[in-house]
């Protein structure tokens, strides 16, 4: 088994790379390196003068760094993209690719606590440098904060009851594992919907632990300045919360309210949409079930 397939089978690979419209001598950024699947494909399209920079906050990803002189991996969160590119003397780039969500590697490592399949310590950190873990969220957040996390990030209708159940369980002792969290919520998980609801609970906690939506907003806001005119942004999302941010930013140039207008009422947008929403084919979903919820949007810098 190759590193690419064992670590992360890149989703919508052909479509995402085509969306970048790669130039042989261009400079590109893969902000979610993971196992290097997308980066490896970008390098195939670059000539000797092309450059690829990659970001990944997960320390495990560093071991996958590609042995190519055109490639540099930065072990940091992509929310700091502008800061670190400027540190390396890069002011603007020709294209940026992002593949949000959790990698197959992170889901399959039981100790990381991302998957509902395993009974593991409440962790869910994408970087070990993160001081906030799932344990802290579950055991230290007050009722209102916990309810908001479950409702906003998990879109759970019974977030209030779930938060109350967690508080009741932890009153008898700390909730230390994903199995104990599951037990705390057992009365609110009907058998026919148990896995779906648990996945939503885990998603909510993971997003809070890693500040995922805030990181995406910060990242997207930096893209107009970083991309040259005509540069491409290729973004893969996996749930409605992520995709909504990407869609609105491409369409409005912001996340809330209407697009900015000048004194004459003309709309000023940083991007134009390229093509429509792209989703995996049945064949891709069949070979890689984790691709089923993926959505690709491509935009060009105006």
pLDDT digits (tens, 9 = 90+) for 31-67: 999 999 999 999 999 999 999 999 999 999 999 999 9
pLDDT of the residue at 8:
57
- Same domain membership, residue 92 and residue 149: no
* Dist CA 162 CA 184 (whole Å): 8
* Dist CA 40 CA 33 (whole Å): 10
* 126-145 mean pLDDT: 97
* 62-76 mean pLDDT: 97
pLDDT digits over 184-234, tens only? 999 999 999 999 999 999 999 999 999 999 999 999 999 999 999 999 999
* 7-28 mean pLDDT: 93
- Same domain membership, residue 121 and residue 205: yes
pLDDT of the residue at 34:
93
- Same domain membership, residue 146 and residue 83: no
Average pLDDT along the chain? 93
* 56-81 mean pLDDT: 96
264: pLDDT strictly greater than 80: no
- Same domain membership, residue 132 and residue 116: yes
Residues of the chain with pLDDT > 70: what percent? 97
294: pLDDT strictly greater than 50: yes
Strand order in the sheet with 71-74: 71-74, 51-55, 27-30, 93-99, 227-237, 295-301, 271-278
What is the count of structural domains for the chain? 2
* Dist CA 208 CA 75 (whole Å): 21
Look up the CATH number of the domain holding residue 42: 3.40.50.150
- Same domain membership, residue 165 and residue 30: no
- State the residue range of the domain holding 241: 3-104+212-301
Q: What is the DSSP string of 193-245?
A: GHHHHHHHHHHHHHHHHHTHHHHHHHHHHHHHHHEEEEEEEEEEE-SHHHHHH
pLDDT of the residue at 7:
58
Decide which of 210, 230, 248 is a domain's last residue.
210
CA angle 130, 135, 138 (to 5 degrees): 120
* Dist CA 293 CA 236 (whole Å): 10
- Same domain membership, residue 141 and residue 201: yes
- Same domain membership, residue 154 and residue 77: no
pLDDT digits over 105-115, tens only? 776 787 788 88
Q: Is 38 exposed, middle or buried, given 0-12, 13-18 or 19+ CB atoms closer than 10 A?
A: buried
Token pair 């950024």 is found at 29
- Same domain membership, residue 257 and residue 120: no
Decide which of 168, 194, 210 is a domain's last residue.
210
3: pLDDT strictly greater than 60: no
Q: Any idea which of 160-164, 180-184, 238-242, 286-290 has the lowest mean pLDDT? A: 286-290
- Same domain membership, residue 287 and residue 166: no
* 258-270 mean pLDDT: 79
149: pLDDT strictly greater than 90: yes
Higher-confidence position of 258 and 212: 212
* 257-265 mean pLDDT: 75
Q: Are 120 and 54 a contacting pair, CB within 8 Å?
A: no
- Same domain membership, residue 201 and residue 264: no
pLDDT digits over 167-196, tens only? 999 999 999 999 999 999 999 999 999 999
Can you list the alpha helix ranges (DSSP code H) found in the chain? Answer: 3-7, 13-20, 37-45, 81-87, 104-108, 134-140, 143-154, 159-170, 178-184, 194-210, 212-226, 240-252, 282-287
Decide which of 170, 191, 210 is a domain's last residue.
210
Number of CB atoms found within 10 A of residue 224's CB? 17
- Write the CA distances from 184 to 136, 159, 198, 203, integer angstroms: 16, 13, 11, 17
* Dist CA 261 CA 101 (whole Å): 33
Look up the CATH number of the domain holding residue 147: 1.10.150.170
CA angle 180, 199, 139 (to 5 degrees): 40
- Same domain membership, residue 177 and residue 30: no
- Same domain membership, residue 68 and residue 51: yes
pLDDT of the residue at 101:
77
């Amino acid at each position: 088994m190759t590193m690419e397939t064992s670590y992360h089978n890149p989703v919508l690979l052909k479509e995402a790379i085509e969306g970048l419209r790669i130039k042989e001598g261009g400079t590109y950024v893969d902000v979610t390196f993971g196992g290097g699947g997308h980066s490896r494909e970008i390098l195939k399209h670059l000539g000797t003068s092309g450059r690829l920079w990659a970001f990944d906050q997960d320390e495990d990803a560093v071991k996958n760094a590609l042995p190519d002189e055109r490639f540099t991996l930065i072990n940091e969160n992509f929310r700091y993209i502008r800061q670190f590119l400027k540190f390396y003397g890069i002011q603007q780039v020709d294209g940026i690719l992002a593949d949000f969500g959790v990698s197959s590697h992170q889901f399959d490592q039981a100790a990381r606590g991302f998957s509902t399949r395993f009974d593991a310590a409440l962790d869910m950190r994408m970087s070990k440098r993160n001081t906030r873990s799932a344990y802290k969220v579950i055991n230290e957040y007050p009722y209102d904060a916990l309810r908001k996390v479950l409702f906003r990030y998990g879109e759970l209708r019974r977030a209030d009851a779930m938060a109350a159940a967690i508080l009741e369980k932890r009153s008898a002792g700390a909730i230390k594992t994903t199995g104990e969290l599951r037990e705390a919520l057992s009365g609110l998980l009907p058998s026919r919907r148990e896995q779906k609801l648990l996945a939503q609970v885990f998603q909510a906690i993971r997003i809070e632990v890693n500040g995922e939506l805030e990181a995406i907003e910060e990242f997207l806001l930096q893209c107009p300045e970083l991309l040259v005119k005509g540069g491409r942004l290729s973004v893969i999302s996996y749930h409605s919360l992520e995709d909504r941010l990407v869609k609105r930013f491409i369409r409005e140039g912001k996340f809330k309210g209407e697009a900015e207008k000048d004194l004459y009422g003309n709309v000023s947008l940083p991007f134009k949409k390229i093509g429509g929403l792209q989703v995996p084919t049945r064949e891709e979903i069949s070979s890689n079930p984790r691709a089923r919820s993926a959505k690709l949007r491509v935009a060009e810098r105006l």
